[in-house]
Structure 1
Amino acid sequence: MAHEARGQVTTISGGTDVNMGEYKRSVENVELPPSVREFANRCDRVIGDRDRFLWKWIHNLFEEFTLSSVSKGALADVYERKTLLTIFVTVLDDLAERSGDRPTFEIGRRIPFGVDGFPDIDLERAGLEAPVLELLADLWGEIDGGLREAPQYGDYADVFDYDLRQTFDAMEYSGLLNDQPMIANRTEAERHDAYNMAMFPYAGIDLMHSPSFDRDEYGALRSLICDLQQMARIGNWITTWERELAEGDFSSGVVVCALRRGVITPTEVTEADEKTVRRLIDRIKSHGIESEFVREWEIRNKTVRKRTSEVESVDADAFVDGIQAVMNHHLASEGYK
């Protein structure tokens, strides 16, 4: 195992060494589907602080961790719909965590399930970010219209809606934690925040396009996804916590552990200038907290691989391999997303 942040090469768990400069160029060369480009451009106009690299990065990764049961002819549509969903949840997550716009977030999270009176209400008079909500509404319309054409949509729509609510609840928890950092604890961070990775909604989209999947195995598959999304969350935590700390965001598991152990205090973070943030980062690293999460990822990886035989209508080993690839991509893209 090696984790060499922002260095020349970064790997984990036997992954292939990645030249970070070459990796960044390879992602930048990814061609996004027209619908994704359209909403990415609109997102730039409305939000203005998201690098196109993120959308290309995730779109490129879906080839690695899409269920093998997806019909080959549906793969392009699946990648596109999951990338659009990523934009949707990222915009919504920014409302909850970065801008702290709770009223707009509360309306936005209801869009997939119908909002009484929306879009007829006077959004600006209600103190809501009208352009953001209009973006989310149009984006959801594009996602939902595509999903309803999926051959197995009806079999998984109800569970998909539930999984979306779990994802949005995770965002609400992160926003609450940023407002009330005294509630920070690792148990809840791992239990709630992992759903922010949207692994269950992603899998739901896959299954809507998976005529060969044995629905009797759905429970076993979901059990595996619980572990895999925690692994994905750890990868995200250890590669974004420095940027989030500089933004005053307490929600990363790395920062949560630092708070609980008294390595840093909420006041230090909220009042920190750029120089102080650098000192806080160095202090957290000196206590080995980041390394603990890397080791935990390794343990979970070994454990989940012992359970892949529980599912036969999906290549579960390949799916776990995909999450390992995601981890290596997280490390290779540290500082870019």
Structure 2
Amino acid sequence: MAHEARGQVAAIRGGADVNRGEYMRTVQNVELPSSVREFANRYDRIIGDRDRFLWKWIHNLFEEFTLSSVQSDLLTDVYEHKTLLTIFVTVLDDLAERGGDRATFEIGRRVPFGVEEASAGMDRSGVDLSVLELLADLWGEIDRGLREAPRHTAFSDVFEYDLRQTFDAMAYSGLLNDNPMIANRTEAERHDAYNMAMFPYAGIDLMHSPSFDPGEYGALRSLICDLQQMARIGNWITTWERELAEGDLSSGVVVCALRRGVITPEEVSGADESTVGGLVDRIKSRGIESEFVREWEIRNKTVRKRTSEVESIDADAFVDGIQAVMNHHLASEGYK
């Protein structure tokens, strides 16, 4: 069954022969904008859990996965804003899932919504002030850039809501890790998909899209619902082994394994380098990955039938971008 799953993954690639070495060199050679380098350096000094490869990887990917409506002379700004936002949400996500620093997360998630909200009723004991300062400065840089976008006002309210949805997804993942008895695939798919931040990314695109027809916004968001789930699946099937080794139970692959009794929370919490491999082999032998690959394929076919609902962007190219996201996930497996 594990070979079947990998075979299906290869089919999703469209038969492309991905030269991983060449791909890795391409990503490593990506030149990040100066503002991104500045905050990446601060991240390395303060936190340092993630390799800089991740920021280069996502920055490179935005060139393939950005709405066609973005004004061409604003593309560089859009890539920069979205890469900075990726650092912001990654810091928060790691606080919620990997670090278990709930106190810092709870204040940090409020940073984009003003000082009063970030401070109101919050207990600051045990809070990592250096991380909060990083988040505050990072958000200040993002916010200043977005306020200069030609349609910032038109989309700012929805953008704020979408940020809250993204942060709620992180809170759910942290809750799941603390309470593995609630694990179920339905909620993993419904809540955790928002962790991909595709709605905030699209919001940044639309702020820089003077030609986009707001009357199509509902149809576009409907497409994004499916596309972000596809992106989540791509992330799940290429990161769950690393996350399992870290004790993170939030991946849909691991959630399914827990619900079916393939593994237990106690085995995960007690796993070390010598035993986690056995848990990985057990999950792979049950074909759980292949189920998610099939779901990706079904969603891909379904969403392509609805691209005509949106005319002021190239919706087919947007869906093709998800194919690129999957290819990038697969080519970088083990590095993010």
Q: Is the TM-score greater than 0.5?
A: yes
Q: Tell me the residue number matched to 1:279.
A: 278
Give 1:116 deviation, angstroms.
Answer: 2.2
The CA deviation string for residues 223-275 of structure 1, in whole angstroms up to 9 with x for no partner, is 00000000000000000000000000000000000000000000000001112
Q: Determine if contact 1:13/1:298 at 8 Å carries over to the other structure.
A: no
Q: Determine if contact 2:184/2:255 at 8 Å carries over to the other structure.
A: yes
The 1-side partners of 2:15 and 2:149 are apart by 34
Give the partner amino acid of 1:311: V
Counterparts of 1:1-337 in structure 2 under 5 Å?
4=6, 12-14=12-14, 16-116=16-116, 126-337=125-336
Q: Determine if contact 1:3/1:12 at 8 Å carries over to the other structure.
A: no
Q: 1:160 to 1:120 in 2, by over 3 A?
A: closer
Give 1:85 deviation, angstroms.
Answer: 0.1
Q: Determine if contact 2:5/2:287 at 8 Å carries over to the other structure.
A: no
The 2-side partners of 1:3 and 1:261 are apart by 18
The 2-side partners of 1:285 and 1:299 are apart by 21
The CA deviation string for residues 108-147 of structure 1, in whole angstroms up to 9 with x for no partner, is 0000001328689999x62210110000000000000000
Aligned residues: 333
The 2-side partners of 1:2 and 1:272 are apart by 27
TM-score, length-scaled by structure 1: 0.95
The 1-side partners of 2:263 and 2:288 are apart by 12
The 1-side partners of 2:13 and 2:297 are apart by 7
Give the partner amino acid of 1:176: L
Question: What secondary structure sits across from 2:66 in the alignment?
Answer: coil
The 1-side partners of 2:206 and 2:269 are apart by 43
The CA deviation string for residues 261-316 of structure 1, in whole angstroms up to 9 with x for no partner, is 00000000000111210000000000000111111101110110000000000000
Q: Determine if contact 2:108/2:118 at 8 Å carries over to the other structure.
A: no
Q: 1:265 to 1:120 in 2, by over 3 A?
A: closer
Give 1:162 deviation, angstroms.
Answer: 0.1
Q: Determine if contact 1:185/1:257 at 8 Å carries over to the other structure.
A: yes
Q: Determine if contact 1:3/1:11 at 8 Å carries over to the other structure.
A: no
Q: 1:146 to 1:213 in 2, by over 3 A?
A: same
The 1-side partners of 2:132 and 2:168 are apart by 18
The 2-side partners of 1:12 and 1:275 are apart by 32
Report the identity percentage: 82
The 2-side partners of 1:38 and 1:268 are apart by 40
The 1-side partners of 2:308 and 2:335 are apart by 36
The 2-side partners of 1:95 and 1:49 are apart by 11
Give the partner amino acid of 2:68: S
The 2-side partners of 1:253 and 1:190 are apart by 7
Q: Which runs of 5+ in 1 are unaligned?
A: none
Q: 1:122 to 1:284 in 2, by over 3 A?
A: closer
Give the partner amino acid of 1:219: G
Question: What secondary structure sits across from 2:274 in the alignment?
Answer: helix
The 1-side partners of 2:118 and 2:304 are apart by 46
Question: What secondary structure sits across from 1:116 in the alignment?
Answer: helix
The 2-side partners of 1:317 and 1:97 are apart by 34
The 2-side partners of 1:122 and 1:267 are apart by 32
The 2-side partners of 1:243 and 1:143 are apart by 30
The 1-side partners of 2:88 and 2:247 are apart by 23
The 2-side partners of 1:171 and 1:28 are apart by 28
